[in-house]
Structure formats: C-alpha cells, structure tokens
C-alpha cells in the first residue's frame, strides 16, 4: 500500500505539490507551514516534498512561504545563544540587543516561544540554575582519578558570567572596551584543575593568551 502511494506521488507535477502547500498555508492563515502541520492537513506527505525539492525548506522557498527553521530550535539552543550574546555584550541582553551581529535568533523568537521577553529571561535563569553541576572527582582506592570534562558547558559559562560579571578578572576589560571574553580554568585543566564553578573565571582574550596554558 505504501509503495503504491509513493509511486503514485512520483507522477504528481511540482506545481500541484506547491499548490497544495500554499493551500494548507492559507487554510491555517499562516505564512509558513511546519512539517507536522502539513502532514496533518496536506494531501501528500512531507517526504514527497523532500524527495522532489531536496528539503522541506526548499519546498517552502519554492512556494514563496517563510522557512520554519525557528520552530525547530530547541529551548536549549535558544538558551545557549543567550549565553553567547551575554558574553559578547558583557551584560544581560535587553530586548533590542538581539541584533543579527549579536545573536543567532531574534527577540521575537524568544517572545513567541516563552510568551514574552521577560518570561524568556526567567526561563533562561531557571535553566541555568536547574542544571546539574559537574561532580567533583573522587579518588577511589585504586588511585584512579575521575576527571570533570575539560569542556565548559553553556550552563557553567552562564554561571561564571553571573558570578564574576562580564569583565576580565585580571585587567578588568569588558566587551564595551572591545575585549573578547573567555571562560578560563584558574588552575589549568591539564594540571589537574577541574571544570567546576570555583575553578572558573572570566578572562579577556589578551590575558588568557598571556597565561601559560592557553584555553580558548
């Protein structure tokens, strides 16, 4: 049955597929259609569009509809982007700060997802606070040492920013001065320093490179 449907679909003209996509958009009263929405209301299946046009986005493009990429972004990605923007700006981002230069996603995307800008920031803070902290390594009887991962995850980055403020711990430079901020292991990871809040600090790129164990 499925094979029959697919071979049938192979003969549908491109325009008929596009027309049906546009019809669904009109029916929904939207200028964009998600894959789920289409599969719910469309005559065909999204895989037919993928095969024919290369991807769902390309089909939307062909139909003159907006791409729906933002609908597929996870909250996690939105929060990580906020940490990145926060680091770039050197302070808590405001609604108007989420420009193309500073942020991958617009303020509107956050508003829509969380029901308001303020709510988005609250959700972000909750996400940071609810994160599991890496466990301090324990030495067991066999003398093998478990280490925290070297990589500083986004949650920890946010915590260090909130703890230290977005300025270099050594020279005090901020992004307003043109400094690029890094999160740095105080005791280098390679020398046994762990990836925990107490061992992390904000450094500007210059000061960070000045340290013997460079971490970018």
Which chain residues interact with Zn ion by CB under 5 A? 168, 170-171, 173, 204, 207
The least distance separating Zn ion from the CB of residue 19, rounded to whole angstroms, comes to 59
Q: Measure the CA–CA gap between 96 and 208, rounded to whole angstroms.
A: 30
Phi, psi (rounded to 5 degrees) for 196: -130, 155
The least distance separating Zn ion from the CB of residue 210, rounded to whole angstroms, comes to 8
Enumerate the β-bridge partners of residue 200.
Answer: 185
Query: Which is nearer to Zn ion, 159 or 173 (by Cβ)?
Result: 173
The least distance separating Zn ion from the CB of residue 94, rounded to whole angstroms, comes to 25
Query: Which is nearer to Zn ion, 115 or 172 (by Cβ)?
Result: 172
The least distance separating Zn ion from the CB of residue 202, rounded to whole angstroms, comes to 9
- Do 196 and 133 meet the contact criterion of CB atoms below 8 Å apart? yes
Place of tokens 């790129």: 205
Query: Which is nearer to Zn ion, 104 or 211 (by Cβ)?
Result: 211
84-112 as b/e: b if 16+ CB within 10 A: bbbbbbbeebeeebbeeeebbbebebbee
Query: Which is nearer to Zn ion, 23 or 211 (by Cβ)?
Result: 211
């Amino acid at each position: 049955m499925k094979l029959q449907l697919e071979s049938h679909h192979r003969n549908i003209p491109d325009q008929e597929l596009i027309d049906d996509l546009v019809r669904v958009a009109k029916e929904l009263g939207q200028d964009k259609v998600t894959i789920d929405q289409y599969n719910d209301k469309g005559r065909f299946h999204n895989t037919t569009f993928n095969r024919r046009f290369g991807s769902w986005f390309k089909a939307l493009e062909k139909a003159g509809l907006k791409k729906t990429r933002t609908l597929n972004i996870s909250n996690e990605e939105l929060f990580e982007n906020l940490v990145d923007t926060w680091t770039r700006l050197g302070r808590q981002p405001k609604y108007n700060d989420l420009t193309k230069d500073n942020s991958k996603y617009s303020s509107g995307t956050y508003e829509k997802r969380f029901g308001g800008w303020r709510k988005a920031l609250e959700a972000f803070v909750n996400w940071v606070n609810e994160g599991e902290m890496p466990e301090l390594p324990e030495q067991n009887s066999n003398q093998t040492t478990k280490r925290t991962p070297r990589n500083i995850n986004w949650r920890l980055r946010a915590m260090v920013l909130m703890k230290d403020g977005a300025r270099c711990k050594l020279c005090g430079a901020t992004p307003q001065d043109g400094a690029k901020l890094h999160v740095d292991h105080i005791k280098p990871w390679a020398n046994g320093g762990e990836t925990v809040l107490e061992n992390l600090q904000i450094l500007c790129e210059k000061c960070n490179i000045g340290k013997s164990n460079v971490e970018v």
